[in-house]
Amino acid sequence: DCLLALESSCDETAAAVCTLEGELISSRIATQIAIHRQYGGVVPEVASRNHILHVRLLVEEVLAEAGQTPRDMAAFAATSGPGLVSSLLIGTSMAKALAIAESKPFIAVNHMEGHLLSPFMSGNGPVRPCVALIVSGGHTMLVRVHGVGRYELLGRTRDDAAGEAFDKVAKMVGLHYPGGPEIDKLSTRGDPKAFDFPRSFLDGRSLEFSFSGLKTAVLYELPRLDLKNEQVLADLSASVQAAIVEVLVEKLVLAARQCGEKLVTVSGGVSCNKGLRAALSARCAKAGLQLLLARPDLCTDNAGMIGFAAAQRFSTGHTSPLEADVDPNLPLIN
Ligand code: ATP
Ligand code: MG
Ligand code: FE
């Protein structure tokens, strides 16, 4: 038996079919990156219109690829928050409509739980206790996972999220939106020691993050830089990335130590970052920690992770009322 999952919290419209055990059968993403790039960021009104244009076709495609019809689905899931209200409404309305038409349950999924559990997909399950780092466009969180739905917040960012730090610095130096992947690419050709950007560890034992100082440091550096020089841009990128990566890696190891936990996971769009993945592998091996990373195509927004989270919840009998509203600020941990 399978369920259909939809994701439309921001600027990607996505649909997936997965089994009730959480195995991914088919998955499609219609990204709007090229559309929003001309504005330098996501325009909510434009995003929701494009979700409307894409969602139905995506549903048809993932069902066809799975060789199934809406009637075969055991449940219909969609992201209900956090995200842009007008975007969230498209996915949830579609999932609810299908649930009503087929007289099957609706499952509202927290987008951040989707990210959080994604490292346990693709054969890495079952979900088990760990210390999890979520690094995305809007969030940077360290979470202690006791089991599905049993989460404890260890620390989060006081200002910018890690992805936001990548994106804002990238914008300052004239790179395309979203800047994270651009900085990742440029970094491979740059010297991470070219600039000594601040690493904000706060007090040594804090599990909170702060990335706004990095932005300011880059801003002060700008007038002295020739950004038309490819090597300068690559060196700057590598140095910015190294500063962000070092803090993320060290705080994750610190959190695991403080909790006495041997398994750590990392998810969210920034966990695609090649420098971060390499640094995590090396550091965790040295610290004797087992590391689970989300598969690169499951790091940024996708419906597969929403289906996986829905399947975990559904297997314990959890469903959502059709009256369940979307919530732009839906918390992962109350
Ligand atoms: P949230 O999940 O917090 O609601 P979001 O859904 O917008 O926010 P994601 O889709 O998980 O976030 O991730 C997008 C972010 O990941 C962007 O900030 C983007 O720059 C960043 N990102 C994507 N790929 C990379 C990369 N290779 N290196 C660094 N950052 C990256
Ligand atoms: Mg996105
Ligand atoms: Fe996300």
Q: Which DSSP string corresponds to 91-159?
A: HHHHHHHHHHHHT--EEEEEHHHHHHHGGG-TT--S---EEEEEE-SS-EEEEEEEETTEEEEEEEBSS
pTM above 0.90, yes or no: yes
Q: Is 136 annotated as a binding residue?
A: yes
- Which two tokens mark 83? 């995200």
User: pLDDT grade, residue 231 (50/70/90)?
Assistant: very high
Q: Whose CA is nearest to atom 30 of ligand 1?
A: 180
% residues pLDDT > 90 (the chain) = 92
Q: Is 301 annotated as a binding residue?
A: yes
* Average pLDDT for 87-108: 98
- Phi and psi at 315, nearest 5°, equal -65, -20
Q: Whose CA is nearest to atom 11 of ligand 1?
A: 269
* Average pLDDT for 73-101: 98
Strand partners, 144: 131, 152
For the stretch 192-227, pLDDT in tens is 999 999 998 878 889 999 999 999 999 999 999 999
User: Residues with beta carbon inside 6 Å of ligand 1?
Assistant: 10, 82-83, 111, 115, 136-139, 163, 166-167, 178-181, 184, 268-270, 272-273, 300-301
Higher-confidence residue of 34 and 154: namely 154
For the stretch 289-320, pLDDT in tens is 999 999 999 999 999 999 999 999 999 999 99
Predicted ipTM? 0.99
Residue with tokens 């969180």, as numbered in its chain: 141
For the stretch 115-141, pLDDT in tens is 999 999 999 999 999 999 999 999 999
Q: What is the pLDDT of residue 8?
A: 97
Q: How far is CA 188 from the centre of its chain?
A: 23
Q: What is the pLDDT of residue 35?
A: 87
What is d(CA 284, CA 230) in angstroms, rounded to the nearest whole number?
33
User: pLDDT grade, residue 334 (50/70/90)?
Assistant: confident
Strand 73-81 relative to strand 130-135: parallel, antiparallel, unpaired? unpaired
Q: Which of 300, 251, 245, 238 is closest to 278 using CA atoms?
A: 245
Q: Is 149 annotated as a binding residue?
A: no
What's the CA-to-centroid distance between 231 and ligand 1, angstroms? 25
What is d(CA 111, CA 106) in angstroms, rounded to the nearest whole number?
15
Name the residues around ion ligand 3, CB cutoff 5 A.
136, 301
